[in-house]
């Protein structure tokens, strides 16, 4: 369940009126999701999603909301935050920061084929290019500094072999991040969590990317590797699916060819993408936030993916 804060029809209708989105006709809590309170709000003008942010603060939200608005304005199918007559896109409902966006059509494709991976690769590259002139900046808050901070916290929960792997991979990633090839990687705003459950499809047609609340400025290659590690991995076994990966990489490159530095560091950043989610899943699993409703994902999945990426480096 993902209604942590109840919103009344009157409150929702008042907000819809202030945003000039019409008269509320239905309000329904959304069951999926673990972070925020989400409602589908229907008006006589269309269907919208009302989100009350339970974790992110008024200060953090403008980066994400304006990024979505920027991308939507450049034709990328992402939720577009609605503005009031003063141009504000961050609102307050029941004392919580809140936003209203358009409801994306379609549903998640949880068993993707090569055609879906190609669609994600294509749109990801378009999104990277569209974001390159976004003028706000915030680092990826789940990047290398956070890994260095969090690894010592989760190490006591691991067996010897896991701890050795985690330590050595972190050392390797610090070494990669200090290299000249890494400094040459193109970067900009990235989604950083574009898993299967954050993309909408209508059949084979990609209808939207959403859940931008881990976005930040990082290397474009890291974002691509996060996608390869979810969309192009056989989930039960954690092994690489070369047909799907080639489809994603080719489609990405048709829009934005990878540079020499990106081709060189593809194997290293595929490892980084696996390490990032191994660490966050270990952290969520062993140190759950107080009163959290989060059902932790299985950390060992990304341990397997990381081991696979080390044993069989991915190449173009």
Ligand X SMILES: Nc1ncnc2c1ncn2[C@@H]1O[C@H](COP(=O)(O)OP(=O)(O)O)[C@@H](O)[C@H]1O
Contact 134, 86 (CB under 8 A): no
Q: Which of 191, 255, 190 is nearest to 218 (CA)?
A: 190
Contacts of 66 (CB under 8 A, 6+ apart): 89, 134, 136
Contact 219, 124 (CB under 8 A): no
Least distance to ligand LJ64HWYM, CB of residue 56, Å: 11
Among 36, 43, 173, 229, binds ligand X (CB under 6 A): 36
Least distance to ligand X, CB of residue 187, Å: 24
Residue 243's alpha-carbon distances to 32, 102, 149, 303, in angstroms, are 30, 34, 36, 22
Collapsed DSSP state (helix, strand, coil) of residue 300: helix
Contact 201, 106 (CB under 8 A): yes
Tokens of 286: 């062993």
Tokens of 73: 């304005």
Least distance to ligand LJ64HWYM, CB of residue 158, Å: 17
Q: Which of ligand X, ligand LJ64HWYM, none does residue 281 bind (CB under 5 to 8 Å by kind)?
A: ligand LJ64HWYM
Least distance to ligand LJ64HWYM, CB of residue 193, Å: 5
Q: Which of ligand LJ64HWYM, ligand X, none does residue 277 bind (CB under 5 to 8 Å by kind)?
A: ligand LJ64HWYM
Q: Which of ligand X, ligand LJ64HWYM, none does residue 38 bind (CB under 5 to 8 Å by kind)?
A: ligand X
Among 34, 90, 181, 255, binds ligand X (CB under 6 A): 34
Q: Give me the 79-98 binding string for ligand X, x by CB under 6 A, dash otherwise.
A: x-------------------
Among 12, 13, 24, 35, binds ligand X (CB under 6 A): 35
């Amino acid at each position: 369940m993902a209604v942590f804060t109840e919103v009344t029809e009157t409150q929702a209708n008042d907000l819809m009126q202030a945003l000039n989105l019409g008269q509320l006709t239905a309000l329904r809590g959304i069951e999926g999701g673990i972070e925020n309170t989400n409602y589908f709000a229907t008006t006589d003008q269309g269907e919208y999603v009302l989100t009350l942010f339970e974790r992110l603060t008024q200060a953090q939200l403008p980066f994400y909301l304006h990024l979505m608005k920027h991308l939507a304005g450049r034709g990328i199918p992402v939720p577009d935050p609605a503005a009031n007559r003063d141009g504000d896109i961050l609102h307050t409902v029941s004392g919580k920061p809140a936003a209203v966006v358009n409801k994306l059509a379609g549903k998640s494709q949880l068993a993707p084929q090569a055609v879906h991976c190609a669609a994600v690769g294509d749109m990801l590259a378009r999104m990277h290019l569209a974001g390159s002139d976004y003028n706000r900046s915030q680092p990826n808050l789940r990047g290398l500094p956070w890994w260095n901070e969090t690894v010592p916290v989760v190490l006591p929960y691991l067996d010897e072999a896991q701890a050795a792997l985690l330590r050595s991979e972190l050392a390797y990633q610090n070494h990669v991040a200090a290299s000249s090839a890494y400094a040459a990687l193109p970067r900009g705003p990235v989604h950083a969590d574009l898993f299967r459950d954050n993309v909408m499809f209508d059949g084979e047609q990609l209808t939207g990317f959403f859940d931008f609340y881990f976005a930040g400025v990082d290397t474009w290659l890291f974002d691509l590797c996060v996608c390869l590690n979810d969309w192009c991995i056989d989930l039960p076994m954690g092994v690489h699916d070369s047909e799907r990966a080639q489809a994603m990489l080719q489609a990405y490159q048709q829009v934005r060819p990878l540079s020499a530095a990106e081709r060189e560091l593809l194997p290293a950043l595929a490892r980084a993408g696996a390490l990032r989610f191994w660490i966050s899943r270990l952290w969520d699993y062993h140190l759950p936030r107080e009163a959290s409703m989060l059902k932790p994902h299985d950390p060992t999945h990304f341990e397997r993916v990381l081991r696979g990426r080390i044993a069989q480096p991915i190449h173009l």
